[in-house]
C-alpha cells in the first residue's frame, strides 16, 4: 500500500523568504503522480503543482517548485518569496496510475508566514 509522510506539523517562515515543506512517499509501483495542495482556513483544497514519476525535470509553477528526488522517494515543495497569503495547511498527495484514480494524502504541514 502507498503511504505519504509529512514530518513537519508546523513551519514558520519570514515574509519574502523561501521555505521548503518536506514530503516522502512509499510505493512499489513505478508509475505514479505526486501532488501538492494548499488548504486555507476556508476549507477548499487548492491544487498547486504536479510531478509525474517519469518526468525528467522538476515541476515549477510560479513561486512553487517541486524538488523531486526519486531515489530518495521525496517530493519536497519549495515556496519562494513567501507572502502572508501563503499561510495555510499544505498537503502532499500521491496517485498510483494503475490503481484507480484516488489520491493518498499525507498528514499536512501548517505554514505560518510572519510579517
Positions in the binding site for other proteins (CB under 8 A): 4, 33, 35, 37, 42-47, 50, 52, 91, 93, 97, 100-108
Nearer to other proteins, 84 or 102 (CB): 102
Closest distance to other proteins from the beta carbon of 102 (Å): 4
String of b and e for 76-93 (b: at least 16 CB within 10 Å)? bbbbeebeeebbbbbbbb
Q: Show the cell assigned to 76.
A: 519536497
Closest distance to other proteins from the beta carbon of 67 (Å): 18
Q: Show the cell assigned to 39.
A: 488548504
Nearer to other proteins, 1 or 71 (CB): 1
Nearer to other proteins, 64 or 105 (CB): 105
Number of residues written out for the chain: 115
Closest distance to other proteins from the beta carbon of 36 (Å): 12
Of 66, 50, 48, nearest to 58 by C-alpha is: 66
Q: Show the cell assigned to 53.
A: 514519476
Amino acid at each position: 500500500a502507498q503511504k505519504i509522510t509529512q514530518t513537519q506539523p508546523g513551519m514558520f517562515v519570514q515574509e519574502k523568504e523561501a521555505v521548503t515543506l518536506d514530503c516522502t512517499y512509499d510505493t512499489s509501483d513505478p508509475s505514479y503522480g505526486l501532488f501538492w495542495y494548499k488548504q486555507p482556513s476556508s476549507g477548499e483544497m487548492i491544487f498547486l503543482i504536479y510531478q509525474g514519476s517519469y518526468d525528467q525535470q522538476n515541476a515549477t509553477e510560479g513561486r512553487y517548485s517541486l524538488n523531486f528526488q526519486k531515489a530518495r522517494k521525496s517530493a519536497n515543495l519549495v515556496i519562494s518569496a513567501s507572502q502572508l497569503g501563503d499561510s495555510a495547511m499544505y498537503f502532499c498527495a500521491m496517485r498510483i496510475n494503475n490503481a484507480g484514480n484516488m489520491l493518498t494524502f499525507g498528514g499536512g504541514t501548517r505554514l505560518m508566514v510572519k510579517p
